[in-house]
Amino acid sequence: MQPNRLQEQNATALLNELLEILQNSSYDEGALKIVNIIHKSLIRDGVLDRNIYLYSYKKAHQNALRYRYPVEITRIAKKSLEHIGVFESYEEGSHYQFWIAKKDQADGLAAPVTIFFKENLNVGKISYMGSL
């Protein structure tokens, strides 16, 4: 199952915003900006969760310049998960992986970024970026 057209358009805009932040911000500045586009389960006390900050965000920030901007989505796949988070960050919905192309194929294959769409909403939040 694929996302609907509006979800796909919103995902493209979200991925462009992600890459714009990662490619044009310092590490710490980007970590503050990215909070607005990621799922609340990845945020603690208004900032990136420490593990996200040290690992998946760090990897995404280091590798962001290898990806095309504006993004080129090469593949979309629905994941089997139908929820995200725990306690106050718990939400039901759908996860989709959007593979984004690198600038140069010599740098390797496209990488997935997972976007979570809350049930009955067309606007998503990034829930995983550690493969960039």
Q: What is the 3-state secondary structure (H, E, C) of 38-59?
A: ECHHHEECCEECHHHHHHHHHH
Strand ranges inside the chain, DSSP E: 43-44, 47-48, 73-78, 83-84, 91-100, 111-118, 124-128
Alpha-carbon distance values, 123 to 7, 68, 85 (Å)? 6, 22, 17
Full domain range(s) for residue 62: 5-128
> Which pLDDT score, from 0 to 100, does residue 81 have?
77
Asked if residue 41 lies in contact with residue 88, where contact means CB atoms within 8 angstroms, the answer is: no
For tokens 């493209």, name the residue. 12
Query: What is the number of domains present in the chain?
Result: 1
> Which pLDDT score, from 0 to 100, does residue 120 have?
83
> Which pLDDT score, from 0 to 100, does residue 106 have?
82
- Which residues in 29-67 are b (16+ Cβ under 10 Å) and which e? ebbebbeebbbebbbeeeebbeebbeebbeebbebbeeb
**pTM for this prediction:** 0.92
> Which pLDDT score, from 0 to 100, does residue 5 have?
93
Measure CA of the first residue to CA of the last residue in the chain; give whole Å.
24
> Which pLDDT score, from 0 to 100, does residue 85 have?
82
For tokens 């139908």, name the residue. 82
The widest CA-to-CA distance across the chain, in whole angstroms, is 43
Which residues of the chain register pLDDT less than 70? none
Distance CA 50, CA 35 (A): 13
> Which pLDDT score, from 0 to 100, does residue 116 have?
95
